[in-house]
Structures are given as C-alpha cells and as structure tokens.
Amino acid sequence: MTQVDNLANSLMNGPDENGHFGLFGGRFVAETLMPLILDLEKSYEQAKADPEFQKELDYLLTYYAGRPSVLYHAERLTEHLGGAKIYFKRDELNHTGSHKINNCLGQILLAKRMGKTRIIAETGAGQHGVAVATVAARFNLPCTVFMGAMDVERQSPNVFRMKMLGAEIRPVTAGRGTLKDAMNEALRDWVTNVDDTFYIIGTAAGPHPYPQLVRDFQSVIGREVREQMMEAEGRLPDSLVACIGGGSNAIGLFHPFLDDKDVSIYGVEAAGRGLDGPDHAASLNGGQPGVLHGNRTYLLQDDDGQILEGHSISAGLDYPGIGPEHSWLKDIGRVNYVSATDQEALDGFQMCSKYEGIIPALEPSHALGFVKKLAPTLSKDHLLVMNLCGRGDKDVFAVAEHLGMNIKG
C-alpha cells in the first residue's frame, strides 16, 4: 500500500475543510462570529506550520504543566479486579490537576499570536475554568469565566481557585444555570466583544476549528501513551478507556490510536440515575443528532428540538452535547460508547482511593466504574489504559454528601 492510500484510509484525517467529521461538526454560528472563526482557523493553520509555536508550547507543557504525565501500572487495582493489566495515564498530576491545561496553553499562545487582549471561557466543574484562569495569569491577560449559578454552588473550591488566580467569575442564571447556559453566555460575550476577545473553549466541541484545535492540543495524551507503553511493555495497549462529557480528554487519548485496529476503545458517558429515565448526560447513548453551540452532534433533546438538561453527579459531564468527532466515531463504530451511573462512579471513586491511594475526580470515576466491570472479563496479559484525567480534591465535599458524611462541620 502506498502512503497516499494509507492517508486516504486513515481515521485521523478529519475534519474536512469545512470542519465536518462525516455528518457531524461544521460551523453553525451567527454571522457576526463567522469572520472570527475563519480568522481563528487561518491563525491556527499558520501556528501549526510555525516551529516556534510548537517549541514554545512544548516548553510550557514540560516546565509549566509538568508533562509528560506518567503512565502508571495500577498494580493493586489490577490484582483486585483480577483481569486485565491496568495502567493509569496520570493526567491528574498536571499543573492545575487535570488534562485541561494542555488545551489552555495551546489556545492562549494562539490568542497571543492573534493579538487578542482579553480571555473568556465557560466552565462546568471548574477544571477548565481553573486552567484558563491559570494561563491567563501566567500570560497577564484579563480573564472572565462564565459558570452556571448551580455549578458555582456545587464547585466552590474551584470558584475560589479561579478568584485567587485573578479571574472574574460571572455566575450565569439565564436558562437553568448550568454548563450549556454558561456556554451560551460566553458566546454572547464573544459576539459583543469581537475585536479584543479570545474564547478558550474547553471541550472538543463548538464551531470548527475548535473541535480540531482542542483535539490536537489534547492529543499529547495519546502520543505519550504510545511511547510510554512501548517502553513499559514493548507493544501497544489492547484497550483504552476514558470518560466523556464533551469529550476532550477522551479524544486526546483516542486520536493517536484510531488507525490501530487492534486497540479497542471505550468512551464512558455519564448515565446519571440510569439511561432508562431522563436524568443522565449520555448524549450518544440517549440523544439524537442536532445542532447546538456551532456544531452538529448528538444532543439530549426533546421531540421538538428543545435542548434538555443533562444530569450527572459530576458537574464536568452534564453537558447535553458531545464533541462532533465522537459522534462520528460512534456512527462508524470505531469507538464503543458505554456508560456508568452516578452510583458506579461513586464506587469507582472509592475503589481507586482505597486500592491505589489516588483520589480521582468524579469525571474519571465514571471511567473507573466501567473498568471495574470490564477488567475482570479480560485476560491477565490484556493491557488496559485508563485516562485518569483529573484529581478529586474539588469533589470531596460532594462525595461526602452522597456518602452521608458531614465534613463541613
């Protein structure tokens, strides 16, 4: 096979020039924003071709974020579950405590190149907001973070962190005051402040080029895993597992492996109180294709096309949409999209804390909940990598409450 054939058959080439991954993606935005996202796309293409840009990003990833994050053999969990050999990709060890910093460093360098002087962002759990506030402080740019009023309540540690970092927090009460409303509000701000403002989107969704851009900046996760696994085991992993809200940590882990047909890939959605009721955030397993926030993708919506609220114990997963590349990967069958309930996530949270001495965030706790079911069904020479994409400090109050413990005094 020639290289051209290889490229044509690759699953890693998307999106096309209009930002489509098959049916999904695209640029569904108001006219005011069109010139801005076209400009962003052009600037990103130029930046990608500029070795200086990559050099600066690599430097910051190494010396500021602390990359590469280690690939850790979770020996006790492996023993406890009695099946696959489990590795954690320790992205919770990054500066700011999650994978979100990878993307924020990339985007703020882009903002700087484009001469933008003000940063805005949306956040749900606050992990992305903290990462944005962090890079904004590092690069001395004023920063406004939109956060659903409900999330401001349930993620108070992260709200405090953002404030310490100098960000202005705007609690969003419009709509129902959750992540999707925060994203609406950020888009409204952007459309009003078109000249000076750069919008750092945190997940692999939004209008083209955001899904591609976020994926590219997060793909450092998967590229490191390839190298680290070759070093540790002399071969590629057999399966990959990551939790999915909008899907940025998952696409970052998955993308470099899409063409490795022998690698099984699992994305774990939040099933909330169960997929048979309305209280979940599983856009792929319980939604329909639609158009929101600039892209076509699977959405939680009613028969009339009104967007529904997602529910999850984790504020980082309750987005009613999902990155368009995941929608495409679902439809072509390359990735298995499964789910874990609130309870399974709580079990995963406790299991990881108890057996590995690592308190995970509630988001990857969903991946843990699934690994708990999957690993025992696999043989001992099966290499499983799970992205431990965030640490659980921010969630201890919420988890304590769910477990019926009073730690607030």
Partner 1 sequence: MTIKTRIDARFEQLKTENRGALVTFITAGDPVYDVSLEILKSLPEAGADVIELGMPFSDPMADGPAIQLASERALANGQTMIKTLEMVREFRKTDNDTPIVLMGYFNPIYRYGAEKFVADAKEAGVDGLIVVDVPPEADEELCIPAMNVGLNFIRLATPTTDDERLPMVLQNTSGFLYYVSVTGITGVNAPDISDVLKNVARIQAQTDLPIAVGFGVKSAEQVREITAGAAGAVVGSAIVREIEANLNEDGSPREGLASRVKMLISELAQGVRT
Please state the separation of Cα 232 from the chain's center in Å.
26
Q: Which is nearer to partner 1, 163 or 188 (CB)?
A: 188
Q: Which is nearer to partner 1, 180 or 326 (CB)?
A: 180
Q: Which is nearer to partner 1, 36 or 258 (CB)?
A: 36
Q: Which is nearer to partner 1, 2 or 18 (CB)?
A: 18
Q: Least CB distance from residue 196 to partner 1, whole Å?
A: 11
Q: Least CB distance from residue 174 to partner 1, whole Å?
A: 6
Q: Least CB distance from residue 244 to partner 1, whole Å?
A: 21
Contact footprint for partner 1 (CB under 8 A): 18, 26-36, 174-175, 180-181, 184, 187-188, 191-194, 288-294, 296, 299, 301, 303-307
Q: Least CB distance from residue 304 to partner 1, whole Å?
A: 5
Q: Least CB distance from residue 295 to partner 1, whole Å?
A: 10
Q: Which is nearer to partner 1, 14 or 26 (CB)?
A: 26
In SS3 terms, the chain reads as CCHHHHHHCCCCCCCCCCCEECCEEEEECCHHHHHHHHHHHHHHHHHHCCHHHHHHHHHHHHHHHCCCCCEEECHHHHHHHCCCEEEEECHHHCHHHECHHHHHHHHHHHHHHCCCCEEEEEECCCHHHHHHHHHHHHCCCCEEEEEEHHHHHHCHHHHHHHHHCCCEEEEECCCCCCHHHHHHHHHHHHHHCCCCEEECCCCCCCCCCHHHHHHHHHCHHHHHHHHHHHHHHCCCCCEEEEEECCCHHHHHHHHHHCCCCCCEEEEEEEEECCCCCCCCCCHHHHCEEEEECEEEEEECECCCCCECCCCCCCCCCCCCCCCHHHHHHHHCCCCEEEEEEHHHHHHHHHHHHHHHCCCECHHHHHHHHHHHHHHHHCCCCCEEEEECCEECHHHHHHHHHHCCCCCCC
Q: Which is nearer to partner 1, 18 or 406 (CB)?
A: 18
Beta sheet of 197-199, edge-to-edge order? 168-172, 143-148, 118-123, 197-199
Q: Which is nearer to partner 1, 197 or 239 (CB)?
A: 197
d(CA 207, CA 60): 27
Q: Least CB distance from residue 292 to partner 1, whole Å?
A: 6
Q: Which is nearer to partner 1, 196 or 227 (CB)?
A: 196
Q: Which is nearer to partner 1, 205 or 253 (CB)?
A: 205
Q: Least CB distance from residue 217 to partner 1, whole Å?
A: 24
Q: Least CB distance from residue 290 to partner 1, whole Å?
A: 5
Q: Least CB distance from residue 22 to partner 1, whole Å?
A: 15
